[in-house]
Amino acid sequence: MIKDVEKILLSEKFIEAKVSEMAEKISRDYEGKNLLLLGILKGSVVFMGDLMKHLTIPTQIDFMRVSSYGGGTVSSGRVNIILDIFRGDLDTCDVLVVEDIIDSGKTLSYLVQYLKNKGAKSVKTCTMLDKPSRREVDFTPDYVGAEIPDEFVVGYGLDYDENYRALPYIGVLKREVYEK
Ligand code: PRP
C-alpha cells in the first residue's frame, strides 16, 4: 500500500473476483445481442479493460468523455460532452455504459437519455462502485460491483488530481493529501 492511502477498501483479489462475476452475468444477459461496451473516460479504463477480457461473448468497444466540474454537470443539469460517440450503426447496438463510480447519478442519468435519443437499440449501465448516499437524482445502475460509503477513494481508475489511477486496489485517500 502506498503512503498516501489510509486503508484498502477493496483489494485486488476482491476486485478480480467481482469483475469476473459481473462479466459472467453480462455474458449471460447479452447472449445473442449486439453488445457495445461504452467506457466513460478516464476513470472507467481499468475496469473496462478487465471486464472485457472476462466476457465470453463477442463485444465491440467505444468511449465517451464528459466534463466533471460541479460533479459532472453544469447548473442546468446538462452534462458537458467532450468526446462524443460517432457511429452510424448505433441503432443496432445494445449499449452498456461502463463507469468506475456513480456519485450524484447525474452523469449516467444524462448519458442514458442522450444515447437513447441518439437512437441506440438499448442502453444499460454498469459501474464498479456505487455511492448511493450521494445520489441527487433518482438513478439505479443495472450492474454494480460494490456499494461503498462516502469516502474519498482512489485507484483502479479513480483519481485525485489525476493521480493514483493505476493502483490495482481501491483505497481511501489520507485526508492530509487533499486538505493541504
Ligand atoms: C466521475 C465518474 C463519473 C462521474 C460520476 O468522473 O467517472 O463519470 O464522475 O459522478 P456523478 O454520478 O456525480 O455524475 P470524473 O468527472 O471524476 O472524471 P474522470 O473519470 O476523468 O476521473
Number of the ligand 1 atom closest to the C-alpha atom of 100: 7
Answer yes or no: is 143 within a domain: yes
103 given a catalytic annotation: yes
Asked if residue 78 lies in contact with residue 51, where contact means CB atoms within 8 angstroms, the answer is no
Residue 37 lies in a domain: yes
Number of domains in the chain: 1
**45 and 39 Cβ atoms separated by less than 8 Å:** yes
Q: What is the CATH number of the domain that holds 35?
A: 3.40.50.2020
In a domain, 1, yes or no: no
How many Cβ atoms sit within 10 Å of the Cβ of residue 141?
18
The domain of 50 spans: 13-148
In this prediction, residue 8 carries a pLDDT of 98
In a domain, residue 171? The reply is no
Q: Are 95 and 120 within 8 A, CB to CB?
A: yes
Question: Would you say residue 153 lies in a domain?
Answer: no
CA 38–ligand 1 middle distance (angstroms):
14
**Nearest Cα residue to atom 10 of ligand 1:** 103
Task: From the candidates 29, 62, 91, 103, give the one annotated as an active-site residue.
Answer: 103
Query: What integer pLDDT is reported at residue 75 of this predicted model?
Result: 45
Is 136 in contact with 83 (CB distance < 8 Å)?
Answer: no
Ligand 1: residues within 6 Å at CB? Answer: 40-43, 68, 71-72, 99-107, 159
Q: 176 lies in a domain?
A: no
Alpha-carbon Rg for the chain in angstroms: 16
In a domain, 155, yes or no: no
Q: Is residue 138 part of a domain?
A: yes
Residue 5 has pLDDT above 50, yes or no: yes
DSSP string, 10-32: E-HHHHHHHHHHHHHHHHHHTTT
**What local confidence, expressed as pLDDT, does residue 77 receive?**
58
For 136-153, how does the pLDDT look when each residue is reduced to its tens digit (9 = 90+)? Answer: 999 999 999 999 999 999
Confidence of residue 69 (pLDDT cuts 50, 70, 90): low
